[in-house]
Amino acid sequence: MGPVFTSDKKVMQYALKTEEAFEHLKYIKCLNKNKSKKGGGRID
């Protein structure tokens, strides 16, 4: 992680951005899974 003296605000913004990106990736993965199965709507 970055230097310890970064402000809490910056850390929070970074955490939020990372979480958003992670959710987005999960969402895309789910979409691709469903596409490749062609309607076998099982989500792990």
pLDDT at 6: 63
Specify if 43 maps to a domain.
Answer: no
pTM above 0.75, yes or no: no
Q: Give the pLDDT of residue 20.
A: 94
Rounded CA separation 29/36 (Å): 11
Checking if the pLDDT of 44 tops 60, the result is no
Domain contains 22: yes
CA 18 to CA 10: how far, in whole Å? 12
Q: What is the pLDDT of residues 7-37, one digit of tens each?
A: 888 888 998 999 999 999 999 998 888 777 6
Domain count, the chain: 1
Q: State which residues form the domain around 21.
A: 7-32
